[in-house]
Amino acid sequence: MTQPALDLVIAALEKIREESDRAPRASRTALAQLQDAPVAASLREACTSPPGQQLQARNKADLLAAVRERVGACTKCAHLACSRTQTVFGVGNPDADLMFIGEAPGADEDQQGEPFVGRAGQLLTRILKAMNFAREDVYIANILKCRPDMPAGSFGNRPPTPTEMQTCRPYLVEQIDIIQPSVLVALGAVAVEGLLGARATMRELRGRWHTYNSIPLMITYHPAYLLRNQAPSEKRKVWEDMLLVLERLERPISERQRNYFL
């Protein structure tokens, strides 16, 4: 079923739900046929949720688990399916208000099956702590769920290609649709390209609010950039972006936080 057709179905179900005492229902077969669609989570919610009720955390966890299962068996990028140790789906609170999006797993993430666990991930954890968040409070995911393959004998990581990002993007869209965060943070220009399909420099993108499907989106430097560039001015830019995130989430900000440098 095409995206416009799905949108029409969802709109019709929502109208029925609003105008009727009985909630609409869809068969298991119909839902199974729509399982691969990025808006499948929204359709399931429209079919089963009482009027005005958001998805509960337990339901979100169940829906994410179903997507994770499909990701684990995905072979759409055959070269990545052959080279990966495992897929790296996402981690954190299914009911998070704040969601971070990176570009792709690196070697450490490929080994452990969790995003942002290497040096860049450790820096992200410190940033979260300075914001008075634990990793368990937020949700962290990548555009790509597989580590981009490297030539034999090569070390390090490479950025995902546009084709790889386009192929894997529907899984991230489903994650966002299920979690329904209040704020999204894209880490780095590659993550922005994968999420929005737009290319631009970080100088043009960061420090102001963007939107993704009506969700406020803050774009900032990837933690790996700060590991390469230790200039206090660059670290301060990222922290200023995080202060804007805290303000949008209506979280209290102390004087110490306002004056903080990473």
From first to last of its 262 residues, the chain has per-residue pLDDT tens of: 444 445 555 555 555 555 555 555 555 444 544 554 544 545 455 445 554 455 787 899 999 999 999 999 999 999 999 999 999 999 999 999 999 999 999 999 999 999 999 999 999 999 999 999 999 999 999 999 999 998 876 778 899 999 999 999 999 999 999 999 999 999 999 999 999 998 899 999 999 999 999 999 999 999 999 999 989 999 999 999 999 999 999 999 999 999 987 6
Largest CA distance in the chain: 64
Exposed e or buried b for every residue in 32-65, given b needs 16+ CB within 10 A?
Answer: eebeebbbbbbbbbbbbeeeeeebeeebbeebbe
What is the Cα–Cα distance from 218 to 208, expressed in whole angstroms?
A: 7
Q: Are 159 and 198 in contact (CB under 8 A)?
A: no
User: pTM for the full model?
Assistant: 0.79
